[in-house]
Structure 1
Amino acid sequence: MAGRPKIFDEQEAIQKATEVFRNKGYDTASADELLNAMGIGKGSFYLAFKGGKQELYVRSIKQFAESFNRKITEAVEKSEDQIEFIRQFFLTLANAEDCDIDRGCYLGNALVQLSEKDEDIKKITAELLKGLQNIFAKAIKKAQEKKQLNTHKDPEILAWHLTNLWNGIHVTRRMESSPEILRAMIEMNLTLLK
């Protein structure tokens, strides 16, 4: 016997759970809040997520990371000036009041809060950072080839610098919320892209 068929869309349910995790955090999101948001009962939940809340959270981060990387890759590739796109991507972080998919702060927060506590989360966030680094490196190399950048620094190292900046902004935002300070810090770091 194969068991009861699923009567809900797992990806949609995970996306709804992601909203709860983003707003409440992993530790404070209750099972009832997650089930209500997902629109499923306990039985269906445990059939789909045998590892419970922890498995749901890991799958939430993974789904969010895949979507984030896909959106950033598409946006960079469609941009006429990829370096300017990257600059604007970072500068919007200074003014971000909420956590949305375009800025990726859900992932940044997961990296800061839980990556050292759980190997699956650590692996997913490491893959995200490597994915971001690859996106940045490809754009930098292309811009160097087209003589759109004066710097001859290694695109891989520049891309890791940007990835570190992205990661660092999410840490710094926990202590400093001033858009002016964040913007000045970001602009200083982006002087490497000239």
Structure 2
Amino acid sequence: MAGRPKIFDEHQAIEKAIHVFKDKGYDTASADELLNAMGIGKGSFYLAFKGGKRELYIRSIEQFAEGFNNSFLEQLSKSDNQIEFIKQFFLKLAEAHNCDEERGCYLGNALVQLSEKDNEVKRISVGFLKNLQQVFAEAIRKAQSTGQIKNNEEAEILAWHLTNLWNGLHVTRRMEDSPKIFRSLIEMNLKILE
């Protein structure tokens, strides 16, 4: 008689897997490392993630993107000054030394590392970025209408510039980690919001 599968919280298990994928990357994260971190056995794992490691990774990106979006939107909506909030969001990236602090690099890394090899990863990453771009665009439109931003370039284009900045910072971090350089790059790019 086969044993009953272990019951576990999939959301928490995926959260633990995210940490392994952050540290090791998708290709080098082993099944044993993932199972140990998640605290589940192989049977429970394959019952929950029939597509194996790839399905776990896809679901981890979806979960991370959803959490990032929800947190960002909640904080933005509570902000008295959405443009200042967006500026501080970027400026904090200059001081981040690892993925845990940076919030978002997991998605940036997925986009850079796997989106051209895996259409599902690409779909999730692109969807996340388009959503982020739309959030930026809405905040910029509001700020333009009140005169907070003098730049009269189309809000959509300004928002794409910010999205491109977010992407570029994740790529640049792979070769340079100086907070001073990052802050200078970010400040220069944020001048579009004046």
Instruction: Provide the TM-score with structure 2 as the length reference.
Output: 0.95
Give identity over the alignment, percent. 69
Counterpart of 2:178? Answer: 178
CA offset at residue 47 of structure 1? 0.7
Cα distance 1:189–1:94, how it changes in 2: closer, same or farther (>3 A)? same
Query: Gaps (5+ residues) in structure 1?
Result: none
Cα distance 1:115–1:101, how it changes in 2: closer, same or farther (>3 A)? farther
d(CA) in 2 for partners of 1:101 and 1:45? 28
Assess if the C-alpha contact under 8 Å between 1:89 and 1:103 holds in 2. Answer: no
SS in 1 for 2:151: coil
CA offset at residue 6 of structure 1? 6.0
Counterpart of 2:61? Answer: 61
Which one has a larger percent helix, Structure 1 or Structure 2? 2
2:13 matches 1:37? no
Instruction: Give, as a single letter, the amino acid of the residue that structure 2 aligns with 1:43.
Output: G
Counterpart of 1:169? Answer: 169
CA offset at residue 100 of structure 1? 2.6
Backbone CA RMSD of aligned residues: 1.4
Assess if the C-alpha contact under 8 Å between 2:93 and 2:102 holds in 1. Answer: no
Within 5 Å, which residues of 2 pair with 1:36-185?
Answer: 36-100=36-100, 103-185=103-185
Assess if the C-alpha contact under 8 Å between 1:68 and 1:101 holds in 2. Answer: no
Assess if the C-alpha contact under 8 Å between 1:64 and 1:101 holds in 2. Answer: no
d(CA) in 2 for partners of 1:64 and 1:189? 26
CA offset at residue 28 of structure 1? 1.3
Give the aligned length: 192
d(CA) in 2 for partners of 1:70 and 1:184? 29
CA offset at residue 103 of structure 1? 2.9
Assess if the C-alpha contact under 8 Å between 2:105 and 2:170 holds in 1. Answer: yes
Structure 1: 4+ residue segments shifted above 4 A: 3-6
